[in-house]
Amino acid sequence: AGIPAADVKAPWIFVGIQQTLRYLPPFWAGVILPFAAIIVIAFIPYLQNNRRKTASLVFFSIVIASVILTLWGYLL
């Protein structure tokens, strides 16, 4: 008497995560992918010498990833 799982929509802020979980196995989408993203973002400061450039790179990387995941969830 509930809504089928395929028809459930998350609030807009979580749509990217929901779409990732829809197309990847839960372990990969919920554990491996976020962990890898955190590791990559954590090591970006050690790859550059210029702190201002590094901060901009981290900020724009997060913004671009958020926009891509949100659009992916909205359009699919």
Question: Which of 22, 16, 60 lies closest to 41 in space, CA to CA?
Answer: 60
pLDDT at 39: 92
pLDDT band at 36 (very low <50, low <70, confident <90, very high): very high
Residue pLDDT, tens place only, 2-22: 667 667 777 877 877 888 888
Residues 6 and 72: their CA atoms lie apart, in Å, by 16
Q: What is the rounded (10 degree) CA torsion for 47, 51, 56, 59?
A: 80
Domain boundaries, the chain: 34-76
Q: Which among 26, 8, 25, 5 has a CA at the least distance from the CA of 73?
A: 8
